[in-house]
Amino acid sequence: MSIELRHLRCFLAIAEESSLTRAAARLHLTQPAVSRTLAALEQHLGIRLVDRSTHHLALTSEGLAFRDRAATALAAFDAAVDPAGLRRRPLRLGHAWSAFGPYTTPLLRRWQREHPGTPLELLRVDDRTAGLARGEVDAALLRGTVEAPGLVTEELATEPRVAALPSDHPLAARSRLALGDLVGETVVLNTVSGATTLALWPAAARPAATLTVANTDDWLTAIAAGRGVGVSSASTAALHPYPGVAYRPLPDAPPLPVVLAWRDAFPHPATEALAALAREIVAETGTAP
């Protein structure tokens, strides 16, 4: 047996729907047909991709790794055979939050002016690599350390960190804070796309309580509701003002790197031009405040 695109599409539908029944409905197939396709794929690979032993279908560790590769392969194939893309292939630039901070508008405007033949599409994807590892975008603006196989990264700038507090919190009365001021608080962590972890604090003095969320919107909502405090970059404060949330500088926290990332294999032809323009804009404007 050889792997065909239908096997990849079937597996990705299962991965995204977390259900054989919903995957079958999405693909307009019967559930037995979906089960047979998955079984054939697993037999060919010699690994178990889906754990069927739990009440809710879940991917195995091998399945999680294969999901990213399958998505990248399918995205590359679809882009290759798309007639519109062959004529005018856009450059899809992902981000999880705050895009390129204060450089976002200059980047978009100058790209449109200097590269009119290649549309630049800015896409928010709530994922640690902003959809890059899954093939949803061609390049991504990310923050913090990025550890994903097959990606090339270039640090473009750094951003100071800020604390985010409920506006009526006693600490909000101060003009600036230290990491130690937050140790006794519940810290809200965006574990899907965020760059803040407990490792930001010294091992001997870390917050004991955390609340996990899946995206920036839920992070802001939790803080405004008084469920905890958070740490993010200065661009979050500038681009995401939110009722009930106060931002305060954290001078003792290490700055957060802002990086441009792209896939090492088969990068978009305009990737180097994007990196060069991003570097130029940062050099002209200076480090983000």
Considering the domain architecture, whether residues 166 and 235 belong to the same structural domain is answered as: yes
> Are 52 and 128 part of one and the same domain?
no
pLDDT for the residue 79: 67
Whether 28 and 64 map to the same domain: the answer is yes
Examine the fold and report which residue of 29, 60, 80 is the final residue of a domain before the chain moves on: 80
> What local confidence, expressed as pLDDT, does residue 264 receive?
86
pLDDT at res. 89: 79
Residues 143 and 261 grouped into a single domain: yes
Q: Are 190 and 235 in the same domain?
A: yes
User: Residue 243: which domain range?
Assistant: 161-249
Q: Is residue 164 a contact partner of residue 232, using CB atoms and an 8 Å limit?
A: yes
Q: Alpha carbon 136 to chain centroid distance?
A: 11
Report the C-alpha gap between 156 and 278 in whole angstroms.
Answer: 7
Same domain, 170 and 244: yes
Q: Does residue 165 share a domain with residue 229?
A: yes
SS3 252: coil
Verify that 178 and 242 share a domain, yes or no: yes
Q: In the numeric block, which tokens belong to residue 170?
A: 């006693």
What pLDDT, on a 0 to 100 scale, did the predictor assign at position 187? 98
Are 23 and 50 within one domain?
Answer: yes
Q: Where among 46, 80, 114 does a domain terminate?
A: 80
Q: What is the CATH number of the domain that holds 220?
A: 3.40.190.10
Task: Kindly state whether residues 165 and 245 are assigned to the same domain.
Answer: yes
pLDDT at residue 186, rounded to an integer: 97
Domain boundary among 80, 111, 133: 80
CATH code of 38's domain: 1.10.10.10
Classify the phi-psi angles of 226: left when phi > 0, otherwise alpha if psi is within -120 to 50, otherwise beta.
left
Per-residue burial over 139-154, b = 16 or more CB atoms within 10 Å of its CB, e = otherwise = bbbbbbebeeeebbbe
Q: How would you write the pLDDT of the chain (289 residues) with one tens digit per residue?
A: 678 889 999 998 898 888 898 899 989 899 999 999 999 999 999 999 998 776 678 889 898 888 888 887 887 777 666 655 544 579 999 999 999 999 999 999 999 999 999 999 999 999 889 999 888 899 999 999 888 888 999 999 999 999 999 999 999 999 999 999 999 999 999 999 999 999 999 999 999 899 999 999 999 999 999 999 999 999 999 999 999 999 999 999 999 999 999 988 878 989 999 999 999 999 998 654 4
270's enclosing H/E stretch is none
- CA gap 150, 34 in Å, rounded: 30
* Whether 71 and 116 share a structural domain: no
Shared domain for 167 and 235, answered yes or no, is: yes
In 3D, which of 143, 150, 135 has the Cα closest to residue 200?
Answer: 143
| Number of structural domains the chain divides into | 3
